[in-house]
Amino acid sequence: MGKTVMRSAVAAILSVMVAGLFTASPSWAQRRAEPGNFDYYLLSLSWTPTYCARDKYGPDPDQCGDRKYGFVVHGLWPQYNDGSYPATCTRDRNLPKAVVDQTMPVMPSVGLMMHEWRKHGTCSGLNATDYFAKLRAAASKVAIPEQLKVPGPTVPATQVERLFLEANPGLTAEGVAVICSRRDVAEVRVCLNKDLGFVACGQKVVDRCRDRDAVLSPDVVAAQPRRSATPPAAPALPPAPAPASVPAQ
């Protein structure tokens, strides 16, 4: 019995260690790097019902208000083929209001835009205007399956990848990953080259839905207990400059 208990304990520890290797944004995987020096982009599409139910700070008022969003852009992340990624490559914090207004239809959260620009966009080698133009172009490149455009019928997680492959000629199973939060689909990740063509993903970009009964659903139960935390206030947008950009990551 003692040996059995010991084996179980070791297995549990190893399981936790392995799970840690595949978290969405492991801090050890981040690198300071020269802006523009990366291998490919990862487009992260967040399923709004899961995001709004599971955000540890509570629902984002921009994304989780009266309008019922389905998949929206969470980020466009420069990635390395070895599974790591560059982060916060410059101190640029400027995000013109015009860029925010243009990007809200595909990424409906001002706070998220500012976070993504600082952490991932600054590593793209582009300025904020061009980075978010690239992000919007990436969003238009990837077709959301008709059945998944708005929260509607519940779909098994095992079918989500198939629907994305069918809706996007040229996209392969090696170029897409479905991510779950408990029993709910939370995210779909699509890998793109620098010209936004479909490519196979690098290391560690893999499906993560351990529950075989996981689903993509319009009704997601909030995680309990929710942490008691106050989200940091989104910094005020700086004035637009004179006329003269992700792996959660």
Active site residues: 74, 116, 120
Angle formed at CA 236 by CA 230 and CA 239, multiple of 5 degrees: 170
- CA separation, residue 34 to residues 41, 79, 87, 91, 134 (Å): 15, 13, 10, 12, 19
* Run of H or E including 110: helix 110-119
What secondary structure does DSSP assign to 182-205, as a single string? TTEEEEEEEEE-TTS-B----TT-
3-class secondary-structure state, position 167: helix
Q: Are 185 and 160 in contact (CB under 8 A)?
A: yes
- The β-bridge relationship of strands 40-47 and 184-192 is antiparallel
Amino acid at 91: R
Closest CA to 118 of 234, 239, 243, 242: 234
Handedness of CA 61, 67, 72, 73 (dihedral sign): negative
* DSSP label at residue 146: G
